[in-house]
Structures are given as structure tokens and as C-alpha cells.
């Protein structure tokens, strides 16, 4: 749609940091491409790519951050509630993942309060949480954490969850499902949120995380959010290439 040409390099095409250094890979890719969209595991990999690449590098996902998902979520909320989200409350119910990290950062920057519910041992990264608190102090947003899902959802305008079992954690499935008992987003949990509250999930969804009644309800903004991943990625790329004023 932007009129460019894509070069896709999957795991079988390129082994980052295996046969050559990340620095060498960054220098080569920057000569093939005007922009690099990197979906990696370790966050240090995308940081190193950006350090040595002469072309802009966009983090498409790392174990620590998922900024493009947050851009799509915030766009979706602005489409639903209006551009000014100040004073709205976002409740996270689930694992302290990369999706939560950027969602809480982005939310407080826009003046939204953040309620975080994670089981003990599944809390978000402490450094990113502290950065969130520091940013919230400047915007007036409120942030609090709990291990009880219903406490986080009470007073929320937006309820968000994500997978409980991320890539590479498949062997922990049974333990994690047990640890997240009581964290399913269902009608009973949504009833504790504010009237008119909406639901978001970055996909793919597993049934233990959210009931069909919520996932396919009018409260769900799943499908607009999925579409907005496309528009926000395109906008980010265009911005990094200097195509937007």
C-alpha cells in the first residue's frame, strides 16, 4: 500500500548472531533496505541492530517490548472514545508481558490510569514499571498493582489481556493455567468495570484467557484493533522514512 518492496527474512533465512555478528548483519541489511522491521526474541538484539544500522530500525516485537501493538491499541481506543483519553482507566489482567510494558507506558503518557493485575511471580519488569510511575507523575495518571483481577477491573474503562503462555513457554502450560486461575476475562469480571467498558486482546487468543461471551461481544474491540496494526505499522514506517510532516 505504501508503494515499496518487501524483503522477508525468516528464521530459516537468517540466523541473527549465529554465523555473523549482529553488527555485521545490521551493516549488510542496511544496504539492502531503506528500513528494517525487526521481530526478535532478545531485546538486546534489536538494540544492537539499531546501534549499527544506517537504516532506521523498528522494533516489531522483542521479549521486553511490543511498541507497535500499543500504537494500534491506543489508536483503537481513540477511535472509540475520542482523541483525548485523559482520565480513562486501563485494566490489565494477566501476565506481565512485553505487551503490558508498552501499554502501561503509552497509557500514562496519554493521561490514562493503569490498573495491573498479575499473579505473584508474573509481575511486569520492575524497571519498566518504575519508568511508568515516573511518567505518570508528570501527567497526573494513577498506577496501581494487585494480584486480584476484580480489584484491577473495578472502575476500568478498558480491560486488556494477553496470552498466558508465550512462545518458548509451552512446557509450562499446565502450571501457568493453574497459576492464572481466576484471571479469565468473562461477563462476571467485565460487569465490575465501568458501564460502557471495552475489551482488547492482541491475538492470538486462547479460550482460557477470555470467554466467547466477551471476546465476540459488542464490548470487544478486537477486530478494529487487529486492523489498526496495519495502519499504525504503515504510519510508523512512513514517519521513519520522512514521508509524514
- Which sequence positions are flagged as catalytic? 202
Rg of the chain's alpha carbons, rounded to an integer?
19
The answer to whether residue 23 scores a pLDDT higher than 90 is yes
Query: Which residues does 125 contact at the CB level (< 8 Å), separation at least 6?
Result: 64, 96, 101
Q: What is the mean pLDDT of residues 66-71?
A: 98
The answer to whether residue 52 scores a pLDDT higher than 90 is yes
**What is the rounded CA–CA span in Å between residue 160 and residue 185?**
9
Three-class secondary structure of residue 36 per DSSP: strand
Which residue in 111, 108, 60 sits closest to 85, CA to CA? Answer: 111
CB environment 141-168: b (16+ within 10 A), e (fewer)? bebebebebbebbbebbbbbbbbbbeee
| Per-residue pLDDT tens over the stretch 105-159 | 999 999 999 999 999 999 999 999 999 999 999 999 999 999 999 999 999 999 9
Q: What is the pLDDT at residue 168?
A: 78
The answer to whether residue 245 scores a pLDDT higher than 90 is no
Q: What is the DSSP letter of 185?
A: B
Q: What is the pLDDT at residue 35?
A: 97
**Residue 57: all three cell numbers together:** 530500525
CA angle, residues 92, 109, 228, in degrees to nearest 5? 65
State how far the alpha carbon of 139 is from the alpha carbons of 82, 87, 135, 180, in Å: 18, 10, 7, 32
Asked whether the beta carbons of 162 and 201 are under 8 A apart, the reply is yes
Q: Indicate the pTM of the whole model.
A: 0.94
Q: What is the pLDDT at residue 15?
A: 73
Q: What is the mean pLDDT of residues 6-12?
A: 88
Q: What is the pLDDT at residue 19?
A: 77
Amino acid at each position: 500500500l505504501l508503494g515499496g518492496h518487501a524483503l522477508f527474512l525468516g528464521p530459516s533465512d537468517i540466523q541473527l548472531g549465529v554465523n555473523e555478528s549482529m553488527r555485521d548483519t545490521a551493516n549488510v541489511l542496511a544496504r539492502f533496505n531503506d528500513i528494517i522491521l525487526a521481530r526478535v526474541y532478545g531485546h538486546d538484539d534489536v538494540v544492537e541492530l539499531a546501534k549499527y544500522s544506517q537504516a532506521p530500525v523498528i522494533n516489531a516485537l522483542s521479549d521486553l517490548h511490543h511498541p507497535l501493538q500499543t500504537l494500534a491499541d491506543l489508536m483503537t481506543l481513540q477511535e472509540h472514545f475520542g482523541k483525548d483519553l485523559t482520565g480513562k482507566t486501563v485494566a490489565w489482567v494477566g501476565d506481565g508481558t512485553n505487551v503490558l510494558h508498552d501499554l502501561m507506558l503509552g497509557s500514562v503518557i496519554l493521561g490514562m490510569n493503569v490498573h495491573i493485575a498479575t499473579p505473584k511471580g508474573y509481575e511486569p519488569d520492575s524497571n519498566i514499571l518504575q519508568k511508568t510511575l515516573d511518567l505518570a507523575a508528570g501527567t497526573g495518571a494513577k498506577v496501581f498493582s494487585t494480584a486480584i483481577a476484580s480489584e484491577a477491573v473495578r472502575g476500568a474503562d478498558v480491560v486488556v489481556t494477553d496470552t498466558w503462555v508465550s512462545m518458548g513457554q509451552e512446557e509450562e502450560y499446565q502450571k501457568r493455567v493453574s497459576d492464572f486461575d481466576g484471571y479469565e476475562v468473562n461477563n462476571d469480571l467485565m460487569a465490575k468495570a465501568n458501564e460502557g467498558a471495552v475489551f482488547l486482546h492482541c491475538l492470538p487468543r486462547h479460550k482460557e484467557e477470555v470467554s466467547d461471551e466477551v471476546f465476540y461481544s459488542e464490548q470487544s474491540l478486537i477486530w478494529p484493533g487487529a486492523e489498526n496494526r496495519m495502519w499504525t505499522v504503515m504510519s510508523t514506517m512512513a514517519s521513519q522514512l520522512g514521508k509524514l510532516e
